[in-house]
Amino acid sequence: MSRPVPSLGNPKNTIEILNKYKFVFQKRYGQNFLIDEHVLGKIIRAAEITEEDFVVEIGPGIGTLTQYLAASAREVAAIEIDDALIPILEDTLSGYDNVTIIHEDVLKVDLARLAEEKNGGRPVKVVANLPYYITTPIIMGLFENHVPVDSITIMVQKEVADRMKTGPGSKDYGALSLAVQYYASPELVANVPPNCFMPRPRVGSAVIRLTKYQTPPVEAEDEKLMFQIIRASFNQRRKTLVNGLSNAPELRIPKERTEAVLEEMGLKPGVRGEALDLAQFAELSNRLKRLQNS
């Protein structure tokens, strides 16, 4: 199967398309289009796309990354919210017969169903230069809705990439770090400066690859409870864990109970949630669950 070589991906061609359609950038949609072929190549290599793959792209913009994906994958579904980009995508992707454009808000798309329909329920690869204003809900949605995913290779704000990789002791450590590390192994692919985008974002960016685990690295008997505990701990970062779990409306765990479990785990009663790693949160939730059941 021979497909056209990507034609977008440099400033000249991007400007040509934008002028042709008199496109106006929408700040509210986090529109920063990639104009660096080198970075595009890095994303494609990191995602390890093969001709077997069904790829979901979130926010194709004018179709720059989409062209690269379509040239390598079996099939691509690209989900774009902005009405003004749909005719542009129909133009820039007209040479590819393996791309479906879904004109929708990604947060409203049932991605598990899409994977079922288009890929027989087998794991898909997600690749995207994400709209930064909804990075966390997109990633959490992919994990929590149990979308069958093999890997997620995404451009995110540099600070968010740091948060995904870090552990206790860092100011960046939080609920997102723990969720990502429970479901996937994060790997930094590249740091990307603002001049690789049009318009330039005010922050640095990074490409990160999250390779989904077949089995999580720790055993949480009740995943939902563990994540409620994690969220309660970081919602009130300055509070002790004991107070955080007692104050959280969805938990209301009696202080003495949490104190007893912390003692069994060899932790101080005044410990803050931010001091615990993923294995300790799993153990804490397992022990609290057992006490609650007994």
3-state SS, residue 175: helix
Among 7, 10, 30, 236, binds ligand SAM (CB under 6 A): 30
Q: How far is the CB of 126 from ligand SAM (least distance, A)?
A: 12
Cα separation, 278 vs 261, whole angstroms: 16
Q: Is 56 in the site for ligand SAM (CB under 6 A)?
A: no
Q: Which lies closer to ligand SAM via its Cβ, residue 21 or residue 29?
A: 29
DSSP state of 197: E
Stretch of 77-85, 91-99, 249-257, 272-280 lying at the interface with ligand SAM (CB under 6 A): 77-85
Q: Is 33 in the site for ligand SAM (CB under 6 A)?
A: yes
Q: Is 23 in the site for ligand SAM (CB under 6 A)?
A: no
Question: CB atoms < 10 A from the CB of 155, how many?
Answer: 26
Nearest residue to 251 via CA among 277, 284, 205: 284
Q: Which lies closer to ligand SAM via its Cβ, residue 49 or residue 276?
A: 49
Q: Nearest 5°: phi and psi at 196?
A: -90, 5
Question: CB atoms < 10 A from the CB of 291, how many?
Answer: 15
**One-letter amino acid for residue 8 of the chain:** L
Q: Is 115 in the site for ligand SAM (CB under 6 A)?
A: no
Name the residue whose CB lies closest to ligand SAM. 59
Cα separation, 84 vs 223, whole angstroms: 41
Among 69, 101, 106, 124, binds ligand SAM (CB under 6 A): 106
Q: Is 105 in the site for ligand SAM (CB under 6 A)?
A: yes
Q: Nearest 5°: phi and psi at 239?
A: -90, 160
Among 36, 53, 75, 80, binds ligand SAM (CB under 6 A): 80
Q: Which lies closer to ligand SAM via its Cβ, residue 23 or residue 227?
A: 23
- Write the DSSP assignment of 248-281 as a string of letters: -TTT---HHHHHHHHHHTT--TT--GGG--HHHH
Stretch of 126-134, 166-174, 184-192, 238-246 lying at the interface with ligand SAM (CB under 6 A): 126-134
Are residues 274 and 231 in contact, defined by beta-carbon separation less than 8 angstroms? no
Q: How far is the CB of 198 from ligand SAM (least distance, A)?
A: 8
HSE, CB side, 13 Å, CA atoms: give it for residue 171.
1
Among 56, 69, 71, 81, binds ligand SAM (CB under 6 A): 81
Q: Is 32 in the site for ligand SAM (CB under 6 A)?
A: yes
Among 31, 153, 157, 240, binds ligand SAM (CB under 6 A): 31
Stretch of 99-107, 170-178, 181-189, 223-231 lying at the interface with ligand SAM (CB under 6 A): 99-107
List 34's β-bridge partners, or say none: 197
Q: Is 157 in the site for ligand SAM (CB under 6 A)?
A: no
Compute CA distances 133 → 22, 30, 81, 170, whole Å: 24, 6, 14, 23
How many helices (H) and strands (E) in the chain?
Answer: 12, 9
- Residues interacting with ligand SAM, by CB under 6 A? 29-34, 58-61, 64-65, 79-82, 85, 105-107, 129, 131, 134
